Chains A and B, each alone.
Chain A
């Protein structure tokens, strides 16, 4: 940022002569210092995980959750300024609820990401506000079955024209990451926060684009990635927080829930083990490591 001090970074809604909005770039800096958050899109669900940095030993363990439920089928996690993340959550909940009020059906992950992208972008436009100091990852499962309209009492005529394309697949996992600029993309694996580079490198190895990763494997991988990524932030204590959303047949029946304690502890144990054994493994497998296939990751 060679242009610091040129006066173009003093307010929002002002471009620098080379076409940059410095306030947004500073917001990205705030995100880069936050705890790592990741999301993995699996074939039968989505996992969210975050590295919650413990700021004080006086805080109750396991309290002050950082991954929030947006709607029954959707969750979000953010890295950066925690209060900005809270506001993001509450706005996302409002959006999801108002969608239900209007359309009488749950909002899709893509639609929520769109709404929130627009909302965050609006905070880059005006001099009276500052951009969000968070990058948020939104994960959801859009029902693969035809859902009844909220409050629907009957199924209507059993004969008629219908209107559904045959053999078309509906619903599925959704994973989106929204940045302070308001930009958002759909991902197979998303990472943000301090350890994002490491986390991205790890996720690229998983070949998520093939769509073969199961949710249970995803949980284990997510735990591992958070532990690996924590190496960048080693001097601080942290708690691993994980939530998931499975398909309708899966363990959460399409709902966003915390990963059960036993499963979380198992995944954590595996992650620690992988981390300990990492130094020896890496030497042996170095030559075999093929360049990982691009996972349609941004950057």
Chain B
């Protein structure tokens, strides 16, 4: 046995070989977040003539493990906007607190006007871009739903790279592949949005959430849905998918137990 204290509790060199220090480098470049840890999957949103409807399920996954099942990924801001978060949940918490402090600072000056969804989206995109430029990104893609300066429906996306874009319907994560085509069918352009009623929009989003639950293995049948209009926010955080039909499932071939 080696009597030197510095080698106590370590694998013996004569058996395991010298310790590989390359895993624990004390020199070399600083490394920040390399990948998200606890993650939320898709957020989907659709504009209609008076506002925006946005939804996300209540799951936070730890890898493929469905770790937290009552996570609120739709966060309201200033009682007038909703931010839907996909990606890292702890970064979402950080951003939520950041927005909360922004809201408090806005209240300091009693000018009477508050930040709208467009302002909020610009702010978030700048935060994302600053952090990715520091090589310490906030690992999220967010959808901001609300109203712009002219009180028209506003929907835009910002992601961990600081990329922004806007469309009549948007989806993050797996939803960008699975839900987006369905939503585009309902509202291909702004003209279609101007004709779309709230009921139709909510229906389309609920259908898309169902498809996402069918196909996305990191999703949950419990979800939150919010409708933002001039009248304010209606946020429901404990919804359950209705009228599921798994009839299509036994026709699926190619993986699992049905190899061919």
Contacts and interface: CB of A to CB of B under 8 A. Distances in A.
Q: Do A and B bind each other?
A: yes
B68 A153 contact: yes
Given A153-B60, A155-B70, A97 B104 contact: yes
A278 interface: no
Nearest to A70: B108
A72 B92 CA distance: 22
Interface string B121-163: 0000000000000000000000000000000000000000000
Interface string B17-60: 00000000000000000000000000000000000000000101
Interface in A28-87: 65, 68-69, 71-72
Interface string B60-92: 100000001111110000000000000001001
A72 B60 contact: no
Nearest to A100: B101
B260 interface: no
Given A151-B94, A153-B60, A153-B93, A72 B107 contact: yes
Contacts of B70: 154-155
Contacts of A155: 70
Contacts of B100: 100, 150-151
Contacts of A154: 58, 60, 68-72
Given A69-B110, A104-B97, A258-B110, A153 B89 contact: yes
B103 interface: yes
A272 interface: no
Contact of A256 (B73, B92, B107): B107
Nearest to A90: B108
A258 B111 CA distance: 10
B96 interface: yes
Interface string A132-161: 000000000000000000111111000000
Which secondary structure dominates where chain B touches chain A?
helix
A249 to B, nearest CB: 15
Nearest to A255: B107
A84 to B, nearest CB: 18
A93 interface: yes
A96 B108 CA distance: 12
Contacts of A96: 104
Contacts of B110: 65, 69, 257-258
A232 B48 CA distance: 59
B72 A93 contact: no
Contact of A151 (B58, B69, B73, B97): B97
Contacts of B93: 151-153
Given A151-B96, A153-B93, A93 B108 contact: yes
Given A151-B96, A153-B89, A153-B92, A72 B103 contact: yes
Contacts of A150: 96-97, 100
Interface of A: 65, 68-69, 71-72, 93, 96-97, 100, 104, 150-155, 255-258
5 contacts: A69-B108, A151-B100, A153-B89, A153-B92, A153-B93
CB-based closest 9 A-B pairs: A151-B93, A151-B97, A154-B70, A151-B96, A153-B71, A154-B71, A69-B107, A150-B97, A154-B68
